[in-house]
Structure 1
Amino acid sequence: MSLTRTLNRALTATVGLQVRRAPRSTPARPGAAAARPGQRTAPAYRRPSSEDLPVERLLRQPVFVISSVRSGSTLLRMMLGAHSRLHAPHELHLRHLRVDHGDAVARSAMTALDLARGDLEHLLWDRVLHRELVRSGKDVIVEKTPGNAFVHQRLRDCWPDARFVFLLRHPESVARSWHESDPVKRPYPVAVTEALRYMEAVEAARAADSGGHTVRYEDITAAPEEQMRRLCAFLGVEYEPAMLEYGGGGGRLVRGLGDWRETIRTGTVQPGRPLPEPGEIAEALRPMCRTWGYL
């Protein structure tokens, strides 16, 4: 009989108590962050060093467009994807791809490999993007899901050599377009609140990343060649005129619900809507308009 069992028998008979081993606490790994109420807790992970990158990642220097919803990211994706070296697939929503150990045995096995759940998710993200890039036959992948704004730091930790393009648009234009895309689901006040949450995440990411490249939707529609030349220089590729006549096949963009939207994945750059007058801007959006230089 073990010493613990003997002791518990004696304690139970005399004072009605027993001894139990305290649960072992697990120290937090880099990358674990406290979640807001209702938000999924970010899993623990480690940021690979430059020496580890050749082993930890297949993909090198991916490009992420960080933008709000309704900011022209689809237009920018199609223009970049028309380049012979840039592959810009549809939105991939990497942050929602999750890994589950399934049972304690699998968790123990991965722990023995020094792979936390966040590390496994990063391996999955990397393989998905690398597979897509290899299938395209191009050199550089560009991912533009608006939700990336909420996981900018995690993307930076997953790929320390990643490059970021920050796409801005007049906050009032964003909110109106978001409302007009589904007026029943998103009344204007709701659209303002939801769009502002994205814009605040974009600005936080932009403030934390001094090495990124910022471009405005209005500048792209007004001077597309100039902006694509600047963007190509940032990405280290030669500018190609095909970026302004993306797709081929006779497609076009049409006006709908007060905004230019994609109907067929081909076409040329069209003018954006006129900027709102100062008196037309929602009060909640005015601070962001000032931060981004629209007021």
Structure 2
Amino acid sequence: MQSDRPIFVIGCPRSGTTMLQLMLHAHPRVAIPPETRFMISAYQRRLHFGDLTDPACRRELAEWLVNRRQSRFHQLGLDAAEVAEQIVTGPPTLGSALGVVLRAYAARFGKPRWGDKRPSYFQNVDVLLRLFPDAQFVHLIRDGRDCVASLKEMPWHTGTVHSSVSTWAEAIDFARHRAPKLPAGSYHELRYEDLTADPEGELRTLCAFLGEEFDPAMCEPSRVAGVAVPEHKTWHVNTHREVTTVRSGSWRDRLEPEEIALCESVLGDRLEEYGYELSGAPKASAAQLLAYERTATMRRLARTKRAALDRVVRLREPNPVAAQLTSAQLELAGLPLPRLEPALTG
């Protein structure tokens, strides 16, 4: 039986996750949409939707998902009324409702396997596993100095260099400390530099992890960029071009000396662990290091506060949250698998 497990692409922002999304979307059995904005916000709001065994509550959730512009449902090219009806008539769990949207996107392309891509999901893997207990996570890692340099240039990025450095550190610390504790067969990581240098080799390994056959179309993600990357995201212009290594190491020309010093002072051991050579920049100034520590501490406190709040909310959940759409999800819920109709013989 071929896998129907959901696939989630994660990584520090500007790690190349959109390119990887397109590589997966080019596969004949997999569809990964542009970044959505409903997954975590729906989970955080789950008590508001009430008892989802009540069709009226599922209707409210469905309308919130398909009509709220912030969710970016409108970018998926789906019929809102049709998807809302699928949610109302579907299994009575939050994960199922969210999965129905992703499944409908895959069905738009005639593909059986679905998932999602959002870099910051590395911060929410525990939540995604609650929603989709059979999920598989693909973590793309890129030289932190290149990520910081690229974030500086983004029109939507409002953070400081300190927050950018902290974000990459958090992504790597997730890979080093939390990922090894995930269920077997649920986590795979690869480096941007290796993926761009040897797309076929890296994608063959990735497909083996996913339980899929490699398809050469995956090496030409630009062919599907016009479909799977919204036009307004001009910062993804490179996804419309051939895969190249030209951007690897471009931090040397894009970062100021003091920014390189900060990156290597804070991230040095992490960079070296993942095979990135340090430039030998001098140690960052005490003021820069103090500013970084303030930022990192504030981010840690915010994560701790969110986790504590989530533990409280879990005690008040009126329903299980796990999806009941895929074969493994149904099995975990103790539900029968759908029966396959026998093939007609002539």
Which category of TM-score, normalised to the shorter sequence, fits these structures?
A: 0.5 to 0.7
Residue 36 of structure 2 is aligned with which of 92, 96, 112?
Answer: 92
1:149 to partner: Cα distance: 0.8
| Count of residues in Structure 1 that have an aligned counterpart in Structure 2 | 220
1:83 is aligned to 2:27 = yes
- The answer for the alignment partner of 1:28 in structure 2 is none
Shift of 1:214: 1.4
Please say if residues 19 and 221 of structure 2, whose CA atoms lie closer than 8 Å, have aligned partners that are also in contact: no
Q: Which residue of 1 aligns with 2:111?
A: 138
**Hey, what's the Cα distance between the residues in 2 that align with 1:91 and 1:179?**
20
Query: Bigger radius of gyration, 1 or 2?
Result: 1
User: 1:286 is matched with which residue: 243, 268, 272?
Assistant: 268
Equivalent position SS for 1:161: coil
Per-residue deviation, 1:96 = 1.6
**Contact residue 221 and residue 272 of structure 1 kept, 8 A:** no
> Structure 1 residue 197: deviation in Å?
3.6
Instruction: Give the helix-richer structure, 1 or 2.
Output: 2
Paired residues of 1:153 and 1:205 also in contact (CA < 8 A): no
| Structure 1 residue identity aligned to 2:27 | H
CA contact 2:140–2:190 (8 Å) conserved in 1: yes
1:62: Cα distance to partner?
0.3
Are residues 190 and 84 of structure 1, via their aligned partners in 2, closer, same or farther at CA, if it must alter by over 3 Å?
A: same
2:218 is equivalent to residue 243 of structure 1: yes
Is 2:155 the partner of 1:155?
Answer: no
> How far apart in 2 are the matches of 1:152 and 1:263?
28
The 8 Å contact of residues 225 and 239 in structure 2, kept in 1 or not, is answered as: no
**TM-score, normalised via structure 1 length:** 0.63
- Does residue 68 (structure 1) correspond to residue 12 (structure 2)? The answer is yes
Q: 2:94 aligns with which of 121, 128, 133?
A: 121
Alpha-carbon distance, 1:75 to partner: 0.6
Partner of 2:189: 214
Q: CA deviation at 1:72?
A: 0.4
In structure 2, what is the Cα distance between the partners aligned to 1:202 and 1:186?
Answer: 23
CA distance in 2, matches of 1:184, 1:128: 28
Alpha-carbon RMSD across the aligned residues, in angstroms, is 3.5
Deviation of residue 107 (structure 1)? 5.4
Task: Measure the CA separation in 2 of the matches of 1:264 and 1:219.
Answer: 17
* Aligned-partner Cα distance in 2 for 1:61–1:285: 34
Q: Which runs of 5+ in 2 are unaligned?
A: 55-60, 62-91, 227-233, 253-259, 278-346
1:265 deviates by: 5.4
Give the 3-state SS of the residue equivalent to 1:90 in structure 2: coil
Superposed CA offset, 1:137-158 (max 9, x none) = 1021131111211110121222
Q: Is the 8 A contact 2:15 2:147 kept in 1?
A: yes
Letter in 2 for 1:179: K
Change beyond 3 A, Cα 1:268–1:231: same
Q: Distance in 1 between matches of 2:53 and 2:213?
A: 46
Aligned to 1:173: 146
1:106-155 deviations in Å (ceiling 9; x for gaps) = 55987xxxxxx9x8432332222222222331021131111211110121
SS at match of 2:247: coil
Shift of 1:222: 0.6
The sequence identity of aligned pairs, in percent, is 28
Report what 1:268 is aligned to.
242
- 1:230 counterpart residue number: 205
Q: Which has the higher contact order (CA 8 A, sep 6+)?
A: 2
Match of 1:255 in 2: none
3-state DSSP of counterpart to 1:221: helix
Q: What's 1:24 paired with?
A: none
Separation of aligned partners in 2, 1:60 and 1:249: 22
Secondary structure in 1 matching 2:40: helix
In structure 2, relative to structure 1, the CA distance for the partners of 1:109 and 1:197 (3 Å cut) is: same
Alpha-carbon separation, structure 2, partners of 1:240 and 1:158:
29
